[in-house]
Amino acid sequence: MKSTATRQGGDQQHLGLTEGTMVQELGWDSDVDEELRTAVMDAIDGDLVEETNEAVDAVLLWWRQEDGDVADGLVDGLTDLSDAGFIWLLTPKVGRDGHIDPADVAEGVVTAGMALTSTVNMSTGWQATKVVRPKASRK
C-alpha cells in the first residue's frame, strides 16, 4: 500500500495501527491530510470513529494553533482512550498555517499529565507526535 505516510518514510506499522485497532478521530477539518486518513483506515481495516461508547486503542487528534491550548485537546482525547491506548497528535509542520511551537506541544503534554514519546513526519503538511499515559498510570 502506498500512502502519504509511506512516501514520507513512515508507515502505519510505525504508528502502531494494525487491522482491528479501534481509532477515534478528533479535530477533523477540511485541511487534514485525506491520504493519511485513508491509509490509516486501510491499515485498521475499518472506519475512524468520532463518538463511541467503547474504549478506543488510539486517537488521531488534528490540532492547530487556532484550536487553542494543546493540553485541552489532549484531555479531550483521553475521554474514550483505553488505559494502554495512545494519542497521535497531528500538527501542521513548521511554516504551515496553524503550526504549533514544539515547546508549546511539550508543555501541553505535561499539563495534560501525559508523556511525549516520538515525533514522525507523516506528510508534506503534517507531523505526528505520539503521546501516552505515564507508565505508572498504564495497566
Instruction: Give the domain CATH number at 18.
Output: 3.40.50.150
Q: In this predicted structure, what is the pLDDT of residue 116?
A: 94
Q: Are 89 and 80 in contact (CB under 8 A)?
A: no
Residue 2 has which C-alpha cell?
Answer: 502506498
Domain carrying residue 102: 4-137
What is the count of structural domains for the chain?
A: 1
The pTM of the full predicted model, rounded to 2 decimals, is 0.87
Q: Mark the ranges of the chain whose per-residue pLDDT is less than 70.
A: 1-14, 136-139
Alpha-carbon span 20 to 68, nearest angstrom: 32
Specify the pLDDT at position 122.
87
C-beta neighbour count of 71 within 10 angstroms:
18
